[in-house]
């Protein structure tokens, strides 16, 4: 039974649907503070960004660097809860800074990640000693700091930065949350364990002593803080020992080593091998393959049709499904296969704006994860279909069509303005979708026959090189 559109695709947010312009030199706004230029300026207090009110007087002990982090108090005018947040954040910072013993016994990625966490904490404590005004600096993850790089063919995060400051009441809570998550990551690395981003929310959540305020109220608060930490210390979520729920399946001509277990993806039966959330080389290695290409289909139902028909066996390929918008694990796996196996990759999605968007995210990356594009995007993936021209080419009937909604039309017009869809063939494709006045789902190919997609549709399109990059 076809999946519901709401189950299959996650429509982009308002931010994601805004056109992206080619990359230009970033300009900082008043509310975005650059990294402090020199230690001398920091010692004198430094100039503050226009949106941040400087501290009038810091505790004398903090200025001299003699007070313990836990005893440092924000300015007297700050609410009691903010004082508690600040004291807790600096306590966490001191704990994080004391990682040198742990780093000696860690190796590889874990050692490097721990060192980055230690540097972040040490920087905050040194600023406390120098000026009594510690802060965290990170790249600004906003639409204004994201651009499309036509040379690389990916969406990238720009160079603009923001400062999250300990003595700014509006920033004190996030400052504290950043160190809570970092401390949780430190514990995971030391113990050699991984948890979900949902579990990290609970691991970091508790009531601040002496108040009725929680460190986190819901996961919508903790998830962005995890992403902020990725950007701040330049580490991947997987390197932080965190994962999201897995989504996606693979079968076909590939043997992998998954955490020491050798798995032949040609022997996965009808279900397929579940794509792990963490697909880094330390955990997953490609042993051997005889595949000629990789085929990723958007919908699980089509994946099962192709798997049951043994499409991958007859065509010597690797067959994947992203089960809708691809999760980070599936995107990372696809990029690694493209880089290491050096096989052509074909994408099969529905003929509607949301299918095109799924292809777009696989190809260029997404706005929300622009800081990850270098390891998630696959600029060379080929759009095999479903194309707006397939209705006539394969002599489909009106039963295979669904009328375009106003939302579909608006979204298609927006996508025409994207720099990566400016190429003539893409403009022609989107124009044809709009002129048709209807969209088509891959499942509609069953109106021809149950195995039409396996026996005629895909083979013909591959044979005729009927695809777009």
- Nearby residues of 440 by Cβ (< 8 Å), 6 or more positions away: 350, 351, 352, 386, 390, 391, 396, 400, 401, 402
Per-residue pLDDT tens over the stretch 248-279? 999 999 999 998 999 999 999 888 999 998 89
Asked whether residue 210 falls in the same domain as residue 253, the answer is: no
358 and 237 co-located in one domain: no
What sign results for the dihedral spanned by CA atoms 414, 415, 418, 423? negative
Q: Are residues 254 and 238 in the same domain?
A: no
Q: Residues, the chain, total?
A: 469
SS3 308: helix
pLDDT digits 0-9 by tens, 18-46? 445 455 444 433 333 333 333 333 333 33
In 286-327, alpha helices (H): 300-308, 311-314
Tell me: the pLDDT tens digits for 165-222?
888 888 888 999 999 999 999 999 999 999 999 999 999 999 988 888 999 999 999 9
Model-wide pTM > 0.75: no
In 3D space, the residue among 210, 139, 136 whose CA is nearest the CA of residue 180 turns out to be: 136
Residues of the chain above pLDDT 90, percent? 57
Please tell me whether residue 214 adopts helix, strand or coil conformation: strand
Last residue of a domain, one of 214, 243, 272: 243
Q: What is the reported pLDDT for 202?
A: 95
Kindly state whether residues 300 and 257 are assigned to the same domain: yes
Same domain, 221 and 256: no
Higher per-residue pLDDT: 87 or 360 = 360
pLDDT tens-digit series, residues 92-120? 666 666 544 444 467 788 999 999 999 99
Q: Residue 301 is part of which domain span?
A: 245-463
Active centre residues (catalytic): 202
Q: Mean pLDDT over all residues of the chain?
A: 82
Q: Give the phi and the psi of residue 459 in degrees, each rounded to 5.
A: -55, -40
Q: Are residues 416 and 300 in the same domain?
A: yes
pLDDT tier at 424 (50, 70, 90 boundaries)?
Answer: very high
Q: How far apart are the first and last CA of the chain?
A: 31
pLDDT score at 97: 61
Give me the CATH number covering residue 379: 3.40.1360.10
How many domains does the chain divide into?
2
What CATH number has the domain bearing residue 72?
Answer: 1.10.10.10
Q: What is the DSSP letter of 455?
A: I
Kindly state whether residue 62 falls inside one of the protein's structural domains: yes
221/252 same-domain check: no
Q: Which residues contact 310 (CB under 8 A, 6 or more apart)?
A: none
């Amino acid at each position: 039974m076809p999946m519901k559109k709401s189950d299959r695709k996650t429509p982009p947010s308002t931010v994601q649907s805004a056109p992206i312009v080619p990359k230009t030199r970033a300009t900082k706004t008043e509310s975005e503070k650059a990294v402090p230029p020199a230690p001398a300026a920091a010692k004198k207090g430094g100039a503050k960004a226009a949106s941040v009110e400087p501290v009038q007087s810091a505790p004398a002990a903090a200025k001299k660097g003699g007070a313990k982090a836990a005893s440092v108090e924000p300015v007297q005018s700050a609410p009691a809860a903010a004082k508690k947040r600040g004291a807790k954040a600096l306590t966490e910072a001191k704990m994080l800074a004391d990682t040198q013993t742990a780093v000696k016994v860690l190796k590889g990625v874990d050692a490097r990640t721990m060192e980055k966490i230690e540097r972040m904490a040490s920087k905050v404590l040194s600023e406390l000693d120098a000026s009594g005004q510690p802060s965290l600096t990170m790249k600004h993850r906003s639409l204004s700091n994201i651009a499309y790089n036509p040379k690389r063919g990916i969406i990238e995060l720009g160079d603009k930065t923001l400062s999250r400051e300990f003595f700014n009441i509006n920033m004190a809570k996030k400052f504290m949350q950043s160190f809570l998550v970092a401390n949780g990551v430190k514990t995971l690395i030391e113990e050699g364990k991984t948890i979900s981003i949902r579990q990290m929310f609970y691991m970091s959540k508790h009531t601040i002593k002496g108040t009725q305020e929680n460190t986190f109220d819901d996961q919508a608060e903790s998830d962005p803080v995890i992403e902020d930490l990725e950007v701040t210390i330049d580490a991947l979520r997987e390197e932080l020992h965190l994962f999201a729920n897995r989504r996606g399946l693979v079968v076909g001509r590939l043997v992998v080593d998954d955490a020491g277990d050798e798995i032949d993806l040609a022997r996965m039966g009808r279900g397929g091998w579940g794509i792990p959330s963490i697909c880094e080389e330390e955990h997953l290695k490609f042993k051997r393959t005889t595949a000629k290409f990789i085929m990723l289909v958007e919908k699980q139902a089509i994946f099962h049709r192709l798997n049951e028909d043994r499409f991958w066996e007859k065509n010597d390929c690797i067959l994947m499904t992203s089960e809708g918008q691809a999760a980070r694990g599936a995107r990372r796996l696809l990029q690694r296969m493209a880089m290491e196996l050096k096989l052509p990759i074909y994408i099969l999605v529905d003929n509607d704006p949301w299918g095109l968007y799924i292809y777009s995210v696989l190809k260029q990356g997404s706005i929300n994860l622009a800081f990850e594009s270098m390891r998630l995007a696959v600029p060379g993936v080929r759009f095999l279909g479903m194309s707006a021209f397939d209705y006539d080419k394969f002599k489909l009937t009106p039963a295979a069509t669904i009328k375009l909604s106003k939302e579909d039309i608006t979204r298609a017009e927006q996508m025409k303005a994207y720099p990566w869809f400016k190429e003539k063939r893409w403009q022609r494709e989107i124009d044809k979708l709009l002129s048709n006045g209807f969209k088509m789902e891959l499942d509609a190919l069953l109106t021809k026959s149950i195995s039409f997609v396996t026996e005629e549709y895909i083979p013909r399109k591959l044979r005729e090189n009927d695809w777009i990059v």
